[in-house]
Amino acid sequence: MVAVFGCWRVVQRLADLLAGDLDPWEHQAVQAHLAGCARCDDAFDRTRRLEALLRSARDVEIPHASRRRLEGLIDRLETRDRVGHAPTPSG
Ligand SMILES: [Zn+2]
């Protein structure tokens, strides 16, 4: 059975997913969420492209404006998730 992750939880794990640092059950839960959530899938795609870009140019720093935009995107996703998908008590 695959655990159900909300957007906020998934966005927080995108970098770990790319790095291969998730436990197998977390990996499964994040992948399941990405398959059904265009917003997080888009965020994952942006994160993946950014990491590929950074790998290809290790000596280049992230421009301040780009960093602010990425942080803003994450903040907006987190806020939307908290407002739109309040967690339900489990059990
Ligand atoms: Zn999502």
Q: What is the pLDDT of residues 21-61, one digit of tens each?
A: 999 999 999 999 999 999 999 999 999 998 888 888 777 67
Query: Ligand 1 centre from 90 Cα, in Å?
Result: 19
CA distance 61 to 25: 34
Buried b (16+ CB within 10 A) or exposed e, 7-28: bbbbbebbeebeeeebeeebee
Query: Ligand 1 centre from 81 Cα, in Å?
Result: 8
The reported pTM is 0.60
- Contact between residue 4 and residue 82 where contact means Cβ atoms under 8 Å apart: no
Domain residue spans of the chain:
7-84
Query: Ligand 1 centre from 54 Cα, in Å?
Result: 24
What band does 82 get if pLDDT is binned at 50, 70 and 90? confident
